[in-house]
Structure 1
């Protein structure tokens, strides 16, 4: 069957064809591929830059988990490289005050972060942690509780009081009226753990997640909730960052489901 168009109908048909031809030319050759508008999950479409080199200052207790998180972030954001600098939170704060080139900061306490309010964006707590007593493997000195740390025959190592884990340790010991004379006071939690691992100390107070990184070298003695302290980890961008948009995207990601799963799988508590 055929149709003949005349007059106004013919003109309308020709106009319709003329409109459709350019649209067809804009389509792709495959026919069944998704339109370009569907690709909204790229870093650029989600608001994050396509690529950036980020430097993140992070508390020592995040060393292992952030290596995993950084690799995951890079896989979600091709072209982005995340480099971490780990140290005690008080050391990180000093670096920020001295103008160290970095994009974001994550500390092991809110007090340190609050002291940097003029240097950071608005912080958000991304995780929590708790204290345990670390002893040598097999707990050879039979340490059962905080009171045992007062035994003068026991070599106990703590973090220095200006370090978040040292401050938390002093807080729980003072609350129980326990006088511990440490053989040394270390600059960060990993240094405390190392002393116990190497047998240079019989016991030390560390974060639960740190003890879990060395299950074949140390035992973790739980501290009851009523005697414990909860550490909070705030993350924030640095105002001196040259990659402000990318830094904000990373800090936001730390509170998202992918990063939260990595943190909680490593033993950190929900924020």
Structure 2
């Protein structure tokens, strides 16, 4: 006999007495239990992302990835995205040395290859943006720098990224394409360090990425040069196979590659792949 029929019979024969109230209570409990078993709540909770995602990313991605990290945490309460920004070569060395990380976003395929070639360390990388060089000068460009050749002036204090770093390798490629020789006052470990020399007025100019010039705002002035078209860097991203939070790491990579993620990156000055 169904609960509904039993309930009706009890009410007819006993009125609203103790037995009827007990029957009603039992049916209600049974109905609630059935509803709970068909509720999607349990399966939905198993699909929810949680925990920490550690992302090693090229220094030039700092501003845009920080924004995307905030968006990711807001979309997935209970997650936390922790970033380690720096020169891609140093990050790659850390990963191959056993540093715990879930995602690697490099400023060049060459530095990504360091990781993928070192055993079974990463899934297949995918290019998600590209970046182009620009000259950063002091605000107002007091030295009237208008070309890459102008940087060879011995009176100028010019800073480059170390050639092991993607921005340094790209700068050297542009110089070689123009048959120019440049002796900088220093080689810096990453693009932010190179740009900072100009911001602090410790250098007159630096060859950095367009994205870094844009991020610096009025602290520097950017000068484009045609040779930069010969040294555009592809940025690959990959899931690291030692990831401790694979699903959340995959979701972060998906955000970076999504239309929403690309909007943030192109707004920062990156080029689409």
Show the counterpart of 1:110: 109
Show the counterpart of 2:238: 236
- The alignment's C-alpha RMSD in Å is 2.5
Q: Which runs of 5+ in 1 are unaligned?
A: 1-13, 29-34
- Deviation by residue 1:194-253 (Cα, 9 ceiling, x = unmatched): 001111111110000000111211000012267542111111111111112221222222
1:194 and 1:50, CA in 2 relative to 1: closer, same or farther beyond 3 A? same
- Secondary structure in 1 matching 2:115: coil
Q: Which runs of structure 1 show a deviation greater than 3 angstroms over 4 or more consecutive aligned residues?
A: 21-28, 35-40, 42-45, 225-228
TM-score, structure 2 as length reference? 0.82
Q: Distance in 1 between matches of 2:100 and 2:106?
A: 17
Q: Is the 8 A contact 1:129 1:232 kept in 2?
A: yes
- Deviation by residue 1:134-188 (Cα, 9 ceiling, x = unmatched): 0000000000000101111111100011000000000000100011110000000
- Secondary structure in 2 matching 1:162: coil
Matched residues, number: 246
Q: Is the 8 A contact 2:160 2:207 kept in 1?
A: yes
Q: Is the 8 A contact 1:176 1:227 kept in 2?
A: no
TM alignment of 1:166-177, pairs within 5 A: 166-177=168-179
Show the counterpart of 1:157: 159
Q: Is the 8 A contact 1:56 1:82 kept in 2?
A: yes
1:109 and 1:138, CA in 2 relative to 1: closer, same or farther beyond 3 A? same
Does residue 194 of structure 1 match 2:196?
yes
TM-score, structure 1 as length reference? 0.83
Shift of 1:63: 0.9
